């Protein structure tokens, strides 16, 4: 089975910051001082991008939580 087309990970970096990353991406989408802030931003990004899977990694690097984020309500839908 293929991986989820749209997903984000929240991982702790060596410097202690929490990063929102896209699998296969070369750098973080966003950096935060707390995991909670990173999880909230990752959910916002996924909702705005049509929904997807959010994986939250613990300080040991292992996935400790996974949730499906529904598509958000687009306040500016495309015309036509």
pLDDT tens-digit profile of 52-62? Answer: 999 999 999 99
Residue 35 lies in a domain: yes
Q: pLDDT-derived band of residue 74, with 50, 70 and 90 as boundaries? A: low
For the stretch 8-64, pLDDT in tens is 999 999 999 999 999 999 999 999 999 999 999 999 999 999 999 999 999 999 999
Number of compact structural domains in the chain: 1
Compute the distance between CA of residue 80 and CA of residue 69 in angstroms, rounded to an integer. Answer: 26
Q: In Å, what is the CA distance from 48 to each residue of 10, 20, 58, 78?
A: 17, 15, 25, 13
Instruction: Give the pLDDT confidence score for residue 73 in this predicted structure.
Output: 77
List CB contacts of 50: < 8 A, sequence separation 6 or more: 6, 71
Range of the domain at 21: 7-58
Q: Is 79's pLDDT higher than 90?
A: no
**26 within domain boundaries:** yes
């Amino acid at each position: 089975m293929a991986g989820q087309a749209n997903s984000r990970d929240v991982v702790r970096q060596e410097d202690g910051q929490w990063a929102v990353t896209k699998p296969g991406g070369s750098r973080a989408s966003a950096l935060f001082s707390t995991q909670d802030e990173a999880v909230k931003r990752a959910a916002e990004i996924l909702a705005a991008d049509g929904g997807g899977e959010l994986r939250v990694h613990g300080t040991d690097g292992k996935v400790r939580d996974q949730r499906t984020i529904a598509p958000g309500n687009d306040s500016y839908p495309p015309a036509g």
